[in-house]
Chains A and B, each alone.
Chain A
Amino acid sequence: MSAFYGIIGGLVAVIIPLAFGLALLPKRCDLPRSRYEEYSIGYLLGASIFTIALTAFYSLGFESTAFVRFAILAGAMVAWRHAFRRESVRVYEPLGFQSYQVWVLALLALGSIALTLSWPINQFDPMLHFAYKGKVLFFHGTPFGEALSSLQSGDGFGRMATHPNYPLGIPILEAFSGHFALSNWSDRWVQIPLAFWAACLPGAIAFGLRFLSKSAARWGALLTASVPMLYLRDGFSSDGLGGTAWGTPGLGNGVTLGAGADLPVAACFAAGMALLLRAGAARSLRLGAAAGFAFAGAAMMKNEGLALFGVVVVAVLISGVLFLPSPSLEKRGRQAIGLALLTGLLAISPWLHLRGQMPAIDENYSEQLTLENTLHFLGGGDELAELSPKVIAQQKTKEEVLAELPPRRAIVGKAFMSTFFDFATWGPMWVLMFAALGALAIRPRSLADPLRRVLAATVFGGVLLYALILLVTPWYLPLLLEKGIPERLLLHLVGPIVLLIGWWIASAKEVKAP
C-alpha cells in the first residue's frame, strides 16, 4: 500500500509544478507550440517556479505545514484551470516528426523514466547531498532546524550533513513527493518528479528552435535525446562491452539518471535558454520572465546553476543585446531579455539569503578563482600532488607523484580533448558544436543576430568557466577526473550547445535555399 501512496504522491508532485508551468506560458495562439514542447517546457518551468517559491518561503523562516501543502494543491488546481480554460485555440502545432522518430523519442523518454525509478536512491551524492536534506524538509518542514544548521557549535558537537549549503530544489521535490504520499517517504518513489528531466530536455530544445524552422526543432530534439550522457557516462568502458560499467548498468557513479543534480541543472538551464530565445524572437515579456525563472531553477538544483546564470548575464552584456539596436531584435525583445535577467536575479536572491545562513564546509570556488591562481596554473603550475591518495597513504612521496604527472594545465587540456572526441558518451554533439562555431567564424555576419551572439557567448563562456574551475580546483585533479569531471559539468551546457547547432542547421538550410 505504501508503494501505491508513494506513486500517487510522486505523481502529484509532478502535476503541481506542471500546472504552474503551463499557466505561465503564453496562449498557444500567441506562441505556437506542439503538445510535446508545451508539456516539456511547462514541467521544467513549473519545477523551477515550485522550487524557487518554496525556497523563498523557507528563507523567510516559514515551515511547510499541512495547511501550506493544502494551499499549494489549491493553487495548482487554479493554475491548471487557468491554463486550459484560457485557450481559444485548442489545436497544437505539428512538429512533423516521422513515426520512427516518434518511436525513438518515446522509447528514450520512457526508458529514462523507467530506469530512474528502477532502483531506489543508491548513490553517494544523491543520497547524502540531496535526499538527506529532502528527509530533513519532509520530517521537520524547515531547513533551519538543527539537522542542517548545527554543524558547527560552541562545544564541538553537532549534527551531520554533507554540503549543508547546497540548494534545496531537489530536496523540495523529494520532500513534497513524500508529503503528498500521505507522509510516506520512499527512497524509490520520491524520485518520480526527478524522473522527467531527460524526457523533457529534447522537448525544451524543440520549443527553443521552432521559431527558426520546424526541421531545426526536430533535429535539435533528436540530437538532444541521442546524447548518451543524458542517461549515463562511461557506458562502454575502455574494456569494451565486458567492462565494469557495462556489467552494472544503472548502478554506480557512471549513471546520470537518478536523484542527482547534474541532469536537472542541464534541463532547467536548457529551458532557460530556449525561453530566452523565444522571448527575444516573440518580443514576449511573459516569456522573458519565464526564462528568468528557469535560469533561477537551475540555480535551485546545484551551485553550478548559479555560476551558469552569471555566464548568461555576462554573455548578454558583452554581446550588447540590451543596448545596441538591431533590426532582428526590437525594443520589446530587448526588454524581454532584460526582464529575464532581472527575474533571474530576484528569483535567486531568497536562496542566496538562505544560503548565507547555512554553514559551509565545501570548497569555495569564488575564493579559488583568482587571477593569481589562474596565472599560476596557466604558467605550468604543478598538480596538488600532496593531496594524492597515494601520498596521503604514504605509499609514494609528493615528488614521486609529481614525476608521473604533467603540469595541471596539460591535465585539464587532455581531459577536455578526450571529452570532445568521446563519441560513446556524447554522440556527435561536440563535433557538431565545433562545426557550428566554425561556421560562425567563417561567416561572422551570422553574429549580427543578437540572440545568436548571446547563445554563442553562453556556450563559449560555459566551457571556459568549467575549464577555469578545473584549472584552479583545490582538489587533486586526477581524482576528480575519475569521478566523472569534466563530463558531469559539461552536461549542464547541452541545452545551449544543441540550440547553437540547431541554429546553424537552420541557417545552413537558408543559405542552400534558392
Chain B
Amino acid sequence: MAISRPQGIPSILGLAQVAFALLPLLWLGTALTHAASAGFEPTPASFPRPSFEGADASQYLLDFWRGTRRGVANRTIAFWGLSDDDPADGVASASLSADGHGVRVARALMEAGVQLRIVSPHLEEQARALKDASGKLVFDDRVTWMGQNAIDSLTGVDGLLLVSEWPEFLAISPTQIAQQMRGRGVFDGREALDATALDAAGLNYYSFAKPGSPPWLDPDFQNYMAHLRESTEEDDAILMLPGTRLGTTSGRARWFLHMNYQLTPRELYLWRPELACGTSGQYRQWVDAYNKAHPWKKMGRPQPGPRELSKLVGNTPARFLNAAESNAAAARKVDSVLFWTHNSDFRVSDWENIPIEKVGAGAQR
C-alpha cells in the first residue's frame, strides 16, 4: 500500500471514518488483554461464574430422598454458604436476600422437614434476623448455625450442598468429607468442588450449577479424556453404550460429541448417531427411542474391578451387551465398550471403558 503524507488536518469525513473504527479497535484490544491474562488458554475461569440453579436443586434433593425408604423427614444436610455473592468480591460485599437461591433452597428443604446445618460465618448474624415478605423470620429452630466449623457440620449428615465457593470450603479434602458424612451425596451449586477427587473418595457428586463455560472445558471431562488417551491406542475402535435409561434431554449431556472430537482418530461408534448428533429435536428423539428400545433391560452387570480414576466399585454404568450390540461390536472389531450414565453434569463415576473381551456378549441377568 502506498502511503501519502498527511496534508494538513484530516477532513471531517476522515475523522468520522476513524471514529467508526474506534469501537472494534477498543474491543480487539480488550479481548487480547483478556486472552493474555488467561495465558491464551481458555479455562472455566475465563468465563462467567457458574450460576446456582436453586429450584432444580431443592426439587432434586427432595425427589431423591422421597424415593428412599427413609423418606425426607428427619434428613440432615450441611449447607456451605448461603448467599449468591461471588467470594472473589470479598467478604465486605457479601449480603443476603430472602429471594436468593441459597435461602430459597433452605426454605424449601425446611418446609419438607429437613434439618439444616448452615456454615456461613460472614452472614450468620444477618441470616438469623432475615425476614420474609410477611415479616416472619426465615430461619427457625430446624437450623443449626455452625459458625466456622465446616468439617463439624458434616458429622452424620445425609448430604452436603455447596452454595458459595468460599476458599475455606474448597480447601477441605474429599477424604475428610467422606469420613464425616453418613450419606454419599455431595451437591455442588457452583461447580467448584473437585468431582474426580470426590468420586475417588467414594462420594456421589451432583452439580446444580449452570456453567458459564462450554462443556469441553469441564476439568473432569478433560481429566477423563486424558485418561482415555493414555489407556487406549490411536487406532482403537470404541463402542459407546448408555448403561441404562437416558434420564435427561439436556444438550449439555451430549458428551459423546466432544469425546468424538477429542479422541479422533480413535473410532467411536454410537447407536443411531444420525439422531444423537442432530438438531436438538432429533437428539430428543434419540433419547426417547433409546428408552423405548431399553437394550439395558435384563442385562447383567460385569464387575470391572478398581478403576484407575476411582476406587469406587459397584456404581458402574457398565453392563453386558445384547445380541444386536454384540453383533455391532464384532462387525466393527471394537476394542472396548465405553458405558455411561447420561447426565448433563460430567461425573467420572458415570463413565466406564471396558475391554471388549471383559464385557461378555449376551450374558443376561
What sequence of 0s and 1s flags, for each residue 109-122 of chain A, a beta carbon within 8 Å of any chain B beta carbon? 00110110011101
Q: B2 to A157, Cβ gap below 8 A?
A: no
List residues of chain B with CB within 8 A of the CB of A99: 3, 5-6
List residues of chain B with CB within 8 A of the CB of A136: 264
Q: B17 to A156, Cβ gap below 8 A?
A: no
Q: B214 to A124, Cβ gap below 8 A?
A: yes
- For the complex, what is the distance from the CA of A333 to the CA of B154, rounded to whole Å? 83
| B residues 7-22 in Cβ contact with A at 8 Å | 7, 10, 13-14, 17-18, 20-21
Given known pairs A132-B260, A159-B268, the reply for A226 and B31 (CB within 8 Å) is: no
List residues of chain A with CB within 8 A of the CB of B239: 157
B34 to chain A, nearest CB (A): 5
Q: A248 to B34, Cβ gap below 8 A?
A: yes
Of A45-53, A65-73, A229-237, A413-421, the stretch lying at the interface with chain B is A229-237
List residues of chain A with CB within 8 A of the CB of B3: 94, 97-99, 102
Q: B25 to A122, Cβ gap below 8 A?
A: no
Given known pairs A108-B25, A250-B35, the reply for A97 and B4 (CB within 8 Å) is: yes
List residues of chain A with CB within 8 A of the CB of B216: 122, 127
Query: Does A249 sit at the interface, judged by CB under 8 A?
Result: yes
- For the complex, what is the distance from the CA of A223 to the CA of B24, rounded to whole Å? 12
Query: Does A146 sit at the interface, judged by CB under 8 A?
Result: yes
What sequence of 0s and 1s flags, for each residue 322-356 of chain B, a beta carbon within 8 Å of any chain A beta carbon? 00100110011000000000000000000000000
List residues of chain B with CB within 8 A of the CB of A118: 31-32, 35-36, 40
Highest count of chain B CB atoms <10 Å: which of A99, A147, A228, A232: A228
List residues of chain B with CB within 8 A of the CB of A232: 24, 27, 31
In which size bucket is the chain A interface? 35 or more
Query: Does A152 sit at the interface, judged by CB under 8 A?
Result: yes
What sequence of 0s and 1s flags, for each residue 84-100 of chain A, a beta carbon within 8 Å of any chain B beta carbon? 00000000111111111
Q: A151 to B277, Cβ gap below 8 A?
A: yes
Q: A135 to B268, Cβ gap below 8 A?
A: no
Q: A231 to B24, Cβ gap below 8 A?
A: yes
Q: A35 to B264, Cβ gap below 8 A?
A: no
List residues of chain B with CB within 8 A of the CB of A107: 25, 28
List residues of chain A with CB within 8 A of the CB of B32: 111, 114-115, 118, 250
Given known pairs A100-B10, A157-B239, A160-B260, the reply for A235 and B267 (CB within 8 Å) is: no
6 contacts between A and B (CB under 8 A): A92-B2, A96-B4, A135-B264, A135-B265, A151-B273, A228-B23
Interface residues of A (CB under 8 A from B): 34-36, 92-102, 104, 107-108, 111-112, 114-115, 118-120, 122-124, 127-128, 131-132, 135-136, 139-140, 146-147, 151-152, 155-162, 219, 222-223, 225-228, 230-232, 235, 244, 246-252, 255, 359, 361-363, 387, 389, 392-393, 424, 427-428, 475
